[in-house]
Amino acid sequence: MDGLRDPGIRKVGSQSSIDTDVFDITRLLDRPRAVNIDRHRSLDERAMSEHSVMGNAKAVDSSESMNSTMETGPRLGFETPISSTPRSPNPNVVDAWDALRRSLVYFRGQPVGTVAAIDYQSEEVLNYDQVFVRDFVPSAMAFLMNKEPDIVKNFLLKTLRLQSWEKRIDRFKLGEGAMPASFKVLHDSNRKTDTVVADFGESAIGRVAPVDSGFWWIILLRAYTKSTGDTSLAESTDCQKGMRLILSLCLSEGFDTFPTLLCADGCSMIDRRMGIYGYPIEIQALFFMALRCAFALLKQDAEGKEFIEKIVTRVHALSYHIRTYFWLDFQQLNSIYRYKTEEYSNTAVNKFNVIPDSIPDWLFDFMPIRGGYFIGNVSPARMDFRWFALGNFFTVLSSLATPEQSTAVMDLIEERWEELVGEMPLKVAYPAIEAREWQIVTGCDPKNTRWSYHNGGSWPVLLWMLTAACIKTGRPQIARKAIELAERRLAKDGWPEYYDGKLGRYVGKQAKKFQTWSIAGYLVAKLMMEDPSHAGMICLEEDKAMKPALKRSSSWSC
Ligand code: GLC
């Protein structure tokens, strides 16, 4: 099972140690069409990288920022000295770094995160002045790639502290391991104190639980460890405990018949009712990635061992389940189309009793001969055939997808470029739900009308995930095309949160401007194209030990 371990993070006895030389991302070259992931520079990006944005930034002077005007309310990075903005000829990049630094949030003089958005025009701040765990991930990646790891470490420690809070919604106590969706730093100028308030779902619109937060936390801990070579943070007693608490929440035994994680609606980036309750691919892919990251980071001590064993079992079952039952391509669609129903016993081909009539009309035209994807959800008599970008990219990045499936996901993007990328990368989900279905599924949500927001809206933040997936599968030209599209408008439009319309042509109806993850997502995409080895922070190679468990289920045959 040792093969599962991230080759870049090796265990020595009960200690894990990072060995950047051991992780050879150029191993990806073994793949038939793998990209030339030069450790430092990609071929045709070399000229561009003469103006690399990887320059060393000045450290933030925390004492000065402590002396700045104190006020009650969130203090952003405005008054604090900022690191020097790396020079680049690309005005979009310069603009993005400036905006990213303005979004910094400080706690007792130390940067601990970035706010979700600083929209100067919008009167309604809602909770966009908070540091969201999921939103901070691309910011963190940008800082790590720019050799500024301190803020990431501070963030990991701050959120770890919050995890240990007692969390309640009304009279109900949440699981110990739950991580917050977001937090906010309050500065009291009179008392000269900083305090933190966190939201574990008890304040969130719809009271949704951020199932993804804990997974992002583990994924980020591994990215930090990988990027810095500093294993001491992940090995610390607190971090080990934090990981175990998150894992206890999602590896506990219950009534499940599937290895996938049962979730309520709105538990991820799509944090409103959108019909993704059940076993959403968005969560399953992050769950798998987090399990593999935790496997690499957990110490093999008495407490860690138990979890390592559980992870091994779950990862095998989960990859089999997702690769088999969530996968859809032309052949598989044809097979489902011809399914018999009401099959009893373990010889059933149509295991979930999916009624072929429930296949939506749009899918027959959408499905190309070349390409495939993991569908949104699978549960009894229910297949949600919608495409979800984040989930699919993370199946590729975590190697939950087989190499063939990863290639097919990228093929699909090429084949259905207009639908999935359009004029602004990228659709968070496809297609939009409309009319009566929209009423029933979203509860008449006016923010999620067709082709807007989570319901078929286009989210620039997804660019970094697409780029990482392109690098991993050796298809940098796809990312290049998408980045070019984004560059035509993103900065000019003021870094919107999302775009609306079938082609993503319009700035979203209620989209915030200067949305931090749109800014950071773009930067991370650019940085990875300049130096594809950065993608190693967020990519996991296929574990050979998982292979034997992979057999096609009988439902694969036509
Ligand atoms: C919206 C998004 C959510 C994001 C938050 C802050 O609620 O749906 O994914 O974390 O805004 O940007």
pLDDT in tens, 77-107: 333 334 455 555 799 999 999 999 999 999 9
Q: Which atom of ligand 1 is nearest to the CA of 272?
A: 8
- Torsion, Cα 448 451 456 460, to 10 degrees, reads -100
Collapsing DSSP states into helix, strand and coil, what is residue 482?
Answer: helix
pLDDT of 354 higher than 70? yes
pLDDT in tens, 396-420: 999 999 999 999 999 999 999 999 9
Q: Which atom of ligand 1 is nearest to the CA of 135?
A: 10
The structural domains of the chain, ordered by start, are 10-537 (1.50.10.10)
For 341, the token pair is 């129903």
Ligand 1 pocket member 212 (CB < 6 A): no
CA distances from 443 to 127, 206, 275, 449, 502 (A): 22, 12, 10, 11, 22
Nearest CA residue ID for atom 4, ligand 1 = 269
Nearest CA residue ID for atom 12, ligand 1 = 116
**Please, which residues have CB within 8 angstroms of residue 348's CB and are 6 or more apart in sequence?**
none
Mean pLDDT calculated for residue range 200-228: 93
Q: Which atom of ligand 1 is nearest to the CA of 268?
A: 9
> How far is 230 from 17, CA to CA, in rounded Å?
8
Nearest CA residue ID for atom 7, ligand 1 = 271
> How far is 468 from 134, CA to CA, in rounded Å?
17
The answer to whether residues 200 and 167 touch, using CB atoms and an 8 Å cutoff, is yes
Q: Which atom of ligand 1 is nearest to the CA of 516?
A: 12
Rounded to the nearest angstrom, the distance between the alpha carbon of 92 and the centre of ligand 1 is: 23
Collapsing DSSP states into helix, strand and coil, what is residue 451?
Answer: coil
User: What does the pLDDT read at residue 125?
Assistant: 77
Please provide the DSSP assignment of 241-283 as one string: HHHHHHHHHHH---S-SSSSPPB-TT-SSS-S-SS--BS-HHH
User: What does the pLDDT read at residue 30?
Assistant: 32
Ligand 1 pocket member 129 (CB < 6 A): no
Nearest CA residue ID for atom 3, ligand 1 = 269
Rounded to the nearest angstrom, the distance between the alpha carbon of 271 and the centre of ligand 1 is: 7
> How far is 467 from 529, CA to CA, in rounded Å?
8
Rounded to the nearest angstrom, the distance between the alpha carbon of 134 and the centre of ligand 1 is: 8
Amino acid letter, 369: I
Q: Which atom of ligand 1 is nearest to the CA of 130?
A: 6
Mean pLDDT calculated for residue range 220-249: 98
Mutation test residue for ligand 1: of 115, 132, 510, the one with most atoms within 8 Å of CB: 132
The answer to whether residues 298 and 235 touch, using CB atoms and an 8 Å cutoff, is no
The answer to whether residues 131 and 107 touch, using CB atoms and an 8 Å cutoff, is no
Ligand 1 pocket member 282 (CB < 6 A): no
Helical (H) or strand (E) element with 522: helix 516-530
Ligand 1 pocket member 135 (CB < 6 A): yes
Rounded to the nearest angstrom, the distance between the alpha carbon of 127 and the centre of ligand 1 is: 9
pLDDT in tens, 107-123: 999 999 999 999 877 77
Helix 211-228 to helix 150-163 angle (10° resolution) is 150
Rounded to the nearest angstrom, the distance between the alpha carbon of 265 and the centre of ligand 1 is: 14
CA distances from 375 to 166, 208, 324, 399 (A): 36, 23, 11, 16
Ligand 1 pocket member 269 (CB < 6 A): yes
pLDDT in tens, 452-495: 999 999 999 999 999 999 999 999 999 999 999 999 999 999 99
Ligand 1 pocket member 134 (CB < 6 A): yes
pLDDT in tens, 6-57: 434 433 333 333 333 223 333 332 333 333 333 333 333 333 332 222 222 2
